[in-house]
Amino acid sequence: MIIGNQEAKNRLQKYLEQHAAAVSGQASFFLLYGPANIGKSAIALELAQSYLWAFAQWWLLHIKDMSAILWKKHSIKIEEKKETEEYKTLYEEHHYQDLWVREINTWLQQSSFGWSKILLIENIERMTPEATNAFLKACEEPLSNRAIIATTSNKGKILETILSRAISISFSSLSDQEMEEYIEQKGIELDSLEVKELLIKMAMWKPWTLENFVNQLIKNEERQKDIQSLIKILPQKWKILEKYTILEKFKEQWILEQFLDGWIAYCTHHHIEHTNNRLKVKKLFQQNINKENVMLYGLLW
């Protein structure tokens, strides 16, 4: 069972049940929106597989977002490019065949022998303008017994022509209690309760981000020790060199700003002094100011 967003999950399940019971064999388009890494795609995939049962391997098409694998935006384009080395790597290492909108539309148009088809698109805002216009036809003139489920973490980037054709379902970040349940469900073991709480706040209450942090800590025991050390020494007025050394490591590992976000939330929750200073540090990071100077400002309160 996937933790969190039960109300949104129930809404989507109800809509799919109504879709299945529709005498007219109507088509449906659902847009799941909310912060990234909170489980929108996982919930949609779980419901789609349950809805299609044994036929999911034939009548479920999952268009994944491989941006994290490619280290760049994984756009959805209108037509397939010629195969390159980059895409060969995508196929071989991750067993995922890239499909563009014309191929997606062709799949939707093909007969499903009386069964429903479900198209699941992760982060639909990745579509290029040309691809969006081509995809609009599938939304405007949908074939019967087709359900389209799309997710987005940035609803503002989606064209109004797409939004107007979708039933929107809002998702939100998990609560502290839900994050605790998620940690328990996943069997995640952390030696320190303080580290667990800080990681929840660093992850901004997003379960997939938390799991990624935990996996990094498992692989890097030194980082876990660094986090434990910082929790103890950051509230102290001295030990500036020790603090700076660890924060510099976090900067090199690209987790410094996430740590600061988590630390601000941690301090606010525990009423630790100087939270306002840390908020100033966060704002300075967003400006064009040398990060070393910002870190020192943050330590010299």
Task: Kindly list the distances between the CA atom of residue 248 and the CA atoms of 109, 135, 214, 241, in Å, as whole numbers in the listed order.
Answer: 54, 46, 20, 10
Average pLDDT score over residue span 292-296: 61
Distance between first and last Cα of the chain: 45
Task: Kindly list the distances between the CA atom of residue 128 and the CA atoms of 69, 87, 101, 124, 188, in Å, as whole numbers in the listed order.
Answer: 20, 18, 10, 10, 39
Q: Please give the pLDDT value at position 300.
A: 46
Pick from 31-35, 154-158, 245-249: least confident? 245-249
CB 150 within 8 A of CB 32: yes
Share of the chain above pLDDT 70, in %: 81
Largest interatomic CA distance in the chain: 72
Q: Please give the pLDDT value at position 225.
A: 86
Whether residue 127 has pLDDT greater than 90 = yes
Whether residue 123 has pLDDT greater than 80 = yes
Confidence of residue 3 (pLDDT cuts 50, 70, 90): confident
Residue owning tokens 């935006």: 73
Average pLDDT, the chain: 81
CB 116 within 8 A of CB 52: yes
DSSP secondary structure letters along 78-89: SSPPPP-HHHHH
CB 209 within 8 A of CB 269: no
Average pLDDT score over residue span 272-278: 61
Hey, is 39 helix, strand or coil?
Answer: coil
Whether residue 240 has pLDDT greater than 50 = yes
CA 18 – CA 83 distance, rounded (Å): 41
CA 186 – CA 182 distance, rounded (Å): 6
pTM for this entry: 0.77
- What residues have CB less than 8 Å from 207, skipping those under 6 apart? 3, 4, 37, 38, 39, 174, 179, 182
Each domain of the chain, given as residue ranges in start order, spans 6-170, 176-299
Hey, is 146 helix, strand or coil?
Answer: strand
Q: Please give the pLDDT value at position 82.
A: 55
Q: Please give the pLDDT value at position 248.
A: 84
Average pLDDT score over residue span 128-155: 86
Which CATH superfamily includes the segment(s) 6-170? P-loop containing nucleotide triphosphate hydrolases (3.40.50.300)
CA 194 – CA 184 distance, rounded (Å): 16
Most confident region among 81-85, 165-169, 274-278, 296-300 by mean pLDDT: 165-169
Average pLDDT score over residue span 230-249: 82
Average pLDDT score over residue span 172-186: 88
